[in-house]
Chain A
Amino acid sequence: MTEFLELTVDKFTFRFATDRYYHPEGVWALPEGEGRVRIGLSDFAQQSGGDVAFAEVKPVGTAVAFGDEVASIETMKTDIVVPAPVSGTVAEVNPALEMSPEVINEDPYGEGWLAAIAATDWEADRARLLDPQAYLERVREVAEEEMRKR
């Protein structure tokens, strides 16, 4: 059972799955063994992006380096270029995204996953990612800054 940290800023609550690592741009990475790393958008990223209309993930077989665009997600108000949180090759794309891209909004840490990457050097990439608490603190800074601007 996935456990979550929670952060409430103003009237918004953001959840952070504790079993995985985070790219500061709002992409999670969950190692699944045998060099496979599942990736997806964080709850904060999906909430700030809004309702997803289209999700286009690079096709299976595409090589990506850490930070490269691995997917682009079109919402009603923004175009999110998703950076790869791990170097490797796209091994699987969530088949649900074509018919029901809203799963990214509904279940960002579960059914709304984006892709699985066959990682080339997960240990090295992991060192560049944030743990859930560190990412939560990053989101707190960003969200509070947004609030001040209003």
Chain B
Amino acid sequence: MTDPYDLAILGGGPGGYVAALRAAQLGMRVALVEGARVGGTCLNVGCIPTKALVTATELLTRARRAAEYGIRIPQAEPDLEGIMAYQRAAVERLVGGVEQLLKEGKVTVVRGRGRLVRPDALSVTDGAGGTTEVTARHIILASGSVTARPPIPGLDLPGVVTSTEALDVSTLPAHLIVIGGGVIGLEFACIYEALGSRITVLEMMPNLLPGAADEAIAKRLAVLLRRRGMDIRTGATVQAVEGARHTSPLRVRFSTSRGEEAVEGDRVLLATGRWPNTADLGLEEVGVRMNRRAVAVDEYLRTSVPNVWAIGDAIGGMMLAHKAMVDGRVAVENIAGQKRAVDYRSVPWAIFTSPEVAGVGLTEAQARQQGADVRVLQFPFSANPRAQILGETEGLVRIVCEAGSGRVLGVHMMGPHATELIAEGALAVQTGATADDLAWTTHAHPTLTEAVLEAALGFRGATIHYHRKT
């Protein structure tokens, strides 16, 4: 047995590898235990490969509209194998980048499946079945999440896939049925729709993107997707997936307030969310207190066992890579002797649908529930010059602020590059900025960011490029 490490991390996803790199910066000797490639779900089978698919399909859509911009592209067609190669290359480049950073940080990557065996030790089983033990003064649990599998009969039928298999677009379904109208389901719905599949989305809650998007925006997104030809059903509870006898091999039965219905398709994507990946990691045996499937932590990300910490999807809550990265920094800085509590006020949602949806802070409904006297300032992208030039005028910016002070409680938007524009909203929420602060910050012209400026100007009735008739 070698000297103990200062820190061992179970899981090399965005939470785990960021924790490792931060710890290395602070001079710790770090072991990172990972059974697959570093980067976790996000880099290998999540955020990154889906964004490659989104980028490819956006280009396809734009190329098909090329005539609007005075460009002749006679026939823009997807080359599915080419898209797969591009996707693999994007993943390869970014995973390689993380591996390089870990190497430069002198982080020891221990390959194999880790398991907590004592408060200061992980046992690691490699692919050949050999076991080693990694001991450390501190351990961070960063085991991520797995696809949620609700108790719906028929999910094991061939043709029912999760987001991981859906990344393979080399064969396209004629009709894709998506169970779950959340972030993952809708991103794939937009990807497959652009590639030519017919799409049906079944969401159990009354609105799309439940728990993520502002309701007013979620409603508008549903309308836009329907206008593009998608069949979007909300309030639809899936009862079962069955093999169908007719032309399509799968039938999904669901119930709505109007009764039982069924839809047939040739592929079903299960996208009903994700569960913390905490089973069979030895956590309960060592005495780590759980909160259902999630590891229970305090605001400093300490578990119930001294010197064992937990971060990211494994602790539940917002399962977002960037939130896991922040968790990783918080846990490591606390291990290094600081006392930093997690602060999730400014964690943005970034949803790469078409158009994009993003939000940060409180939605209008949440702010009203908390009893705040709320004003909502809105501005449509149809009145933004840059959006008009881009030919992408669908969507709007909504700023939720305190009626009296104008303090920004939340910013929500749908529209071109909303996932980039939300950074200004996150800064506003984090720093307690007011609508006036945003309005007196000069925004470059002509840019999409002016939509945020114009919405903020509405606090003083000073919106310039749009008229609200009352």
Q: Are A79 and B393 in contact (CB under 8 A)?
A: no
Q: Are A77 and B383 in contact (CB under 8 A)?
A: yes
Q: Are B468 and A81 in contact (CB under 8 A)?
A: yes
A143 CB, nearest partner CB in chain B, Å: 15
A127–B216 alpha-carbon span in the complex (Å): 36
Which listed residue (A76, A98, A99) contacts B382, Cβ 8 A? A76
A147–B398 alpha-carbon span in the complex (Å): 34
Interface check A5, CB cutoff 8 A: no
Which chain B residues numbered 376 to 399 have a C-beta less than 8 Å away from chain A?
378, 380, 382-383, 393-394, 396
Interface check A134, CB cutoff 8 A: no
Q: Which residues of B contact A80 (CB under 8 A)?
A: 469
Q: Which residues of B contact A76 (CB under 8 A)?
A: 382-383, 393
A138–B466 alpha-carbon span in the complex (Å): 24
Q: Which secondary structure dominates where chain A touches chain B?
A: strand
Which listed residue (A53, A79, A81) contacts B466, Cβ 8 A? A79
Q: Are B227 and A79 in contact (CB under 8 A)?
A: no
Q: Are A79 and B382 in contact (CB under 8 A)?
A: no
- Kindly supply a per-residue 1/0 record for chain A positions 75-103, scoring 1 wherever the CB is within 8 Å of any chain B CB and 0 otherwise: 11111110000000000000000110000
Interface check B467, CB cutoff 8 A: yes
Interface check A125, CB cutoff 8 A: no
- B220 to chain A: closest residue by CB: A54
Given contacts A78-B468, A79-B469, A81-B468, contact A54 B383 (CB under 8 A): no
Q: Are B470 and A81 in contact (CB under 8 A)?
A: yes
A76–B387 alpha-carbon span in the complex (Å): 12
Q: Are B469 and A77 in contact (CB under 8 A)?
A: no
Q: Which residues of B contact A77 (CB under 8 A)?
A: 382-383, 466-467
Q: Which residues of A contact B220 (CB under 8 A)?
A: 54
- A100 to chain B: closest residue by CB: B227
Chain A CB within 10 A, most for which of B396, B466, B469 = B469
Interface check B223, CB cutoff 8 A: yes
- B378 to chain A: closest residue by CB: A79
Q: Are A79 and B467 in contact (CB under 8 A)?
A: yes
Q: Are A78 and B466 in contact (CB under 8 A)?
A: yes
- B379 to chain A: closest residue by CB: A79
Q: Are B467 and A98 in contact (CB under 8 A)?
A: no
Q: Which residues of A contact B88 (CB under 8 A)?
A: none
Q: Are B380 and A74 in contact (CB under 8 A)?
A: yes
Which chain A residues numbered 38 to 85 have a C-beta less than 8 Å away from chain B?
49, 53-54, 74-81
Which chain B residues numbered 415 to 470 have a C-beta less than 8 Å away from chain A?
466-470
Q: Are A99 and B466 in contact (CB under 8 A)?
A: no
- A99 to chain B: closest residue by CB: B227
- Kindly supply a per-residue 1/0 record for chain A positions 96-140, scoring 1 wherever the CB is within 8 Å of any chain B CB and 0 otherwise: 001100000000000000000000000000000000000000000
Q: Which residues of A contact B378 (CB under 8 A)?
A: 79
Interface check B368, CB cutoff 8 A: no
Q: Are B226 and A98 in contact (CB under 8 A)?
A: yes
Q: Which residues of B contact A79 (CB under 8 A)?
A: 378, 380, 466-469
Q: Are A74 and B382 in contact (CB under 8 A)?
A: yes
B258 CB, nearest partner CB in chain A, Å: 14
B298 CB, nearest partner CB in chain A, Å: 42
- B396 to chain A: closest residue by CB: A74
A53–B383 alpha-carbon span in the complex (Å): 12
Query: Could you jot down 27 A-B contacts, CB within 8 Å?
Result: A25-B469, A49-B469, A53-B380, A53-B393, A53-B394, A54-B220, A54-B223, A74-B380, A74-B382, A74-B396, A76-B382, A76-B383, A76-B393, A77-B383, A77-B466, A77-B467, A78-B466, A78-B467, A78-B468, A78-B469, A80-B469, A81-B468, A81-B469, A81-B470, A98-B223, A99-B223, A99-B227
Nearest first, the 6 closest Cβ-Cβ pairs linking A and B are A79-B468, A78-B467, A81-B470, A80-B469, A76-B382, A98-B223
Q: Could you list 13 further interchain pairs (A-B, Cβ under 8 angstroms) beyond the known A77-B383, A77-B466, A79-B468?
A: A49-B469, A53-B380, A54-B223, A76-B382, A76-B383, A76-B393, A78-B466, A78-B468, A78-B469, A79-B380, A79-B467, A79-B469, A99-B227
